[in-house]
Chain A
Amino acid sequence: MPRIFKLLSCVVLCLGWAGLTQAKDENREPTLDQVWAYATTSQPIEARNILDDLEGLEPRVETLANAVLDMSRAPLSVKQWAAIEPVLAELAQADDVVAPRALYLQARMYQIQQLKPDYVRAEELYLELNQRWPGSHWAQLGLVKLGLVKLYALPEPLDVEERFAAVEALLAQITEPTLRRDLQLQMGWAGLFHQRPLDEVLPHLIAADKVGGMMGITPEDVMIQIGELSFRAGYLEQSKAYFERFLREVPSNNKRYNVRMRLKEVEAALAEQEGMK
């Protein structure tokens, strides 16, 4: 057989195999996981198409999935909100895997998914979630959300300390390290916003940094922040350690020169302190 025909045969076989593989993919049974996978990646139309094709799905799961997809085209109109909220409220009444998720989403509906938030109702729902499923992921995430609202949104208490005491109480109930980190980071930043003493702010930032895994520019900012705030609070060794770590771990950041210059000041202050001993 001439060489060219051998090559052609290979190509035809390969094309046939590729076609079969494609056909197999197209015939793949739709699954609930595919629905969730599309929804997780902001593709609600594809998710809905698969959900519509799914057969034999547990009705409560299907109802939740539909509500989740309805919520994915935010912001919701008043009409959409009014249609979804009762569905979630109904789902939240039971005691199965669907209910805590539905209750969490119901709280979110009041907290953030309407133009004028109803923080009081949201808080009631978050607390109910924590009471019925204490320690669950959704309850703990709800406590983080409640904490954020308390840090910034609720009417100013007479004493700012009350605000932070309330959030500390929520933090004490959260055990998942990444959720504790998220709330502690915001407690640190809100502490600066509310002009709390640096000795109150720094431990939260240091705790958040220790958990790691923060997003975007935040880990770099927090390293600089701990270095700078430690300098201002007089913790020179700690300041030096964080600034040095930043320069070591972050090769590309527009603030590296600022940090290098500040580090020189820290080192000079340390040398002066040493000289006074």
Chain B
Amino acid sequence: MFTKSTPLNDDREITIRIAHWQIELGPPDGIQAAIDRYMELNPNVEVKQVMVPSTVYRQWMRANFAGNSAPDIVEYGAWLDGLADLPVRYFDPLTEDLMQPNPYNKGTELEGMPWLKTFTDELMEQRLNSPEPGQYYAATLTRGSLRLFVNRDLLKEITGSSERVEDFAGMRRIFKQTAAFSKKEGRKILPLGGSKDNAIWIMGFYAGGVTNKFNRTLDDYGFLGLYPWQTQWKYLNQEWDYQTPGIKAAFKILDELDKQMPLGYMSFLRDDAVRQFMRGEALFIFAGTWEATSLRRLAEFPVDAWRCPQPTTSDPVVGEHMLGHYADGSVSTSFGLYLNKRSPHREVAVDFLRFITSQEGNQLFTDKSGWLPSIKSVSVAPEIASFISPEDGYTYPGGNISVGGGTRSVFQKNLYLLTGPDGSIDDFAAAMDRDMPKAVRSSLAVYERSARWAVLPQDSRVIANGGLRESKPDDPKLLLGQQRLEAAQNLSEARALMIARQLELTADFGQN
């Protein structure tokens, strides 16, 4: 009776809740598997999974945090529009916890390793986008990439082969073969499943590949890359626009892609594109690997995941603008789980985060979800191994169909000028430059405000840390804490000042 790892009764003393929006097939199963095992190991704790549709997630988060009813652990992403103020106000950093070994890794090859070091990317996304530079606010569950999912049987029927083609020239051949097959067989088949989301993903991916070469020329800071705030500043500073040849060239490839999707795709939802694929009306669907489990579980045919065939530097349409092969996956792990600062059960919530990102917990997650793991030494199932991108592509983000914040809506609003019956690249580019300045300015202002707001409460923390040091001046931990707090604040503060300066210098541009 004392050795059985189940509670003596069902009244578990502590309940914690974990909320996320990954409600497609797969992830909820993976999380539940980890929860079940955790509850076996911790008979006094109940963990409840709260699944919130992505369409309402932002509103749900804001309402629940404002109303003090948010779960103990919540999924969040720095890219979520309009929520930049939430992390510092409502989330608790995990930095100190991450510096300690994860006890659930005892007996594994990760034993004794600081928790932070057990993630395959050592939480790169947090190093990039932490609400406070230098602080880690999240533990991640997975990693992803963009893939072209293909109906293997249909591809063989159309082309006689199910082998992946090497480049975009090969894709153009498939586009033509599909049109001919469709006409000959009298079956409605298009190369690409289309919806607003899928179209934006594939267009952003291909446009990003074409603009890599030009974007590299904007890198005056020598970061070998551009951050969104730099791209936005350079747009407002009129260092690039949609007339720039290295940017405008990307529209040619968008025009090609547009013609491979069903009419009216911008009014379709993600599920519509999936249905086109499932019904055999679309040969491919371009999506993140987060869609893979749903696609494979629902399809009645074998689904392969291709690395997206790319234009080469000798491509007849965009080759002269290509830098070379470009990245189709990120090393960053994702599905970031954040800790509610007001959780009454911080220790338990952190303990659960440790478990679900331990070797055992993350293995359960990946096995049951079909998503890649985020933890080193967790084995990857053969059917998802192709989701991992090797380190073989340039990544110079910058000018693209959207450049952060609310700029995507400008693209969506004007795309018809490129793809409509009288569509023209010139008209589309002109419309982008007409509407983009205001959206870019607004987005850059959000960056400034976010950096400034991150700074404000830190003054109290800096002085409080000074108070602690008064009584323990030789405590190295306190000294380190002081240096980190001040360094983080100095970084945010300088960024806020710089962006404010940028906005000031370009005040006359983008006020339409």
Contacts and interface: CB of A to CB of B under 8 A. Distances in A.
B124 A113 contact: no
* Interface range for A: 35 or more
A257 B472 CA distance: 46
Given A75-B456, A186-B494, A258-B396, 17 more contacts: A11-B2, A37-B468, A39-B467, A43-B341, A44-B460, A47-B464, A68-B463, A149-B497, A178-B487, A182-B491, A193-B498, A213-B483, A214-B487, A215-B484, A225-B221, A256-B331, A258-B225
Given A75-B453, A253-B124, A258-B395, A218 B463 contact: no
B2 A218 contact: no
13 contacts: A41-B461, A42-B461, A43-B341, A71-B460, A74-B453, A74-B456, A76-B456, A101-B467, A144-B490, A228-B219, A252-B124, A254-B327, A255-B395
Contact of B491 (A152, A218, A251): A218
A171 interface: no
A33 interface: yes
Interface residues of B, number: 66
Contact of B394 (A141, A193, A258): A258
A216 B127 contact: yes
Nearest to B223: A221
A252 B493 contact: no
A39 B457 CA distance: 10
A105 interface: yes
A232 interface: yes
A215 to B, nearest CB: 3
Interface stretch (B104-112, B128-136, B413-421): B128-136
B464 A40 contact: yes
B467 A36 contact: yes
B466 interface: yes
Nearest to B330: A254
Contacts of A76: 456
A158 to B, nearest CB: 16
- What 7 A-B pairs are tightest by C-beta distance, nearest first? A215-B134, A74-B456, A39-B464, A228-B222, A36-B467, A72-B460, A216-B133
Contacts of B225: 254-255, 258
Contact of A192 (B220, B392, B393): B220
Nearest to B491: A215
Interface centre among A35, A152, A178, A186, by most chain B C-beta atoms within 10 angstroms, is: A152
B494 A189 contact: yes
Nearest to A179: B486
Contact of B493 (A40, A69, A145, A258): A145
Nearest to B505: A156
A112 B459 contact: yes
Interface in A56-109: 64-65, 68-69, 71-76, 97, 101, 104-105, 108
B388 interface: no
Nearest to B478: A40
A71 B459 contact: yes
Interface centre among A33, A229, A252, by most chain B C-beta atoms within 10 angstroms, is: A252
B223 A101 contact: no
Given A178-B486, A254-B330, A39 B461 contact: yes
A39 B460 contact: yes
Contacts of B391: 256-257, 260
A32 interface: yes
A214 B324 CA distance: 33
B127 A217 contact: yes
B463 A104 contact: yes
B445 interface: no
Given A40-B464, A213-B487, A192 B331 contact: no
A254 B470 contact: no
A159 B51 CA distance: 58
Contacts of A206: none
A214 B457 CA distance: 21
B207 to A, nearest CB: 18
Interface of A: 4, 7, 11, 32-33, 35-37, 39-44, 47, 64-65, 68-69, 71-76, 97, 101, 104-105, 108, 112-113, 137-138, 141, 144-145, 148-149, 151-153, 178-179, 181-183, 186, 189-190, 192-193, 195, 213-218, 220-221, 224-225, 227-229, 232, 251-262
A190 B396 CA distance: 22
Contact of A152 (B134, B395, B483, B501): B501
B459 A105 contact: yes
A254 B463 CA distance: 36
Contacts of A255: 223-225, 395
Contacts of B128: 216-217
A258 B224 CA distance: 7
A105 to B, nearest CB: 6
Interface centre among A97, A215, A251, by most chain B C-beta atoms within 10 angstroms, is: A215
Contact of A216 (B134, B457, B501): B134
Nearest to B128: A217
Contacts of A256: 331, 391
A137 B331 CA distance: 39
Contacts of A183: 490
Interface centre among B219, B221, B455, by most chain A C-beta atoms within 10 angstroms, is: B221
Interface in B391-421: 391-396
A40 B481 contact: yes
Contact of A112 (B1, B122, B134, B455): B455
Contacts of A220: 127
A112 B121 CA distance: 35
A145 B496 CA distance: 13
Contacts of B459: 71, 74, 105, 108, 112-113
B169 interface: no
Contacts of B455: 112
A74 B457 contact: yes
A152 B453 contact: no
A115 to B, nearest CB: 10
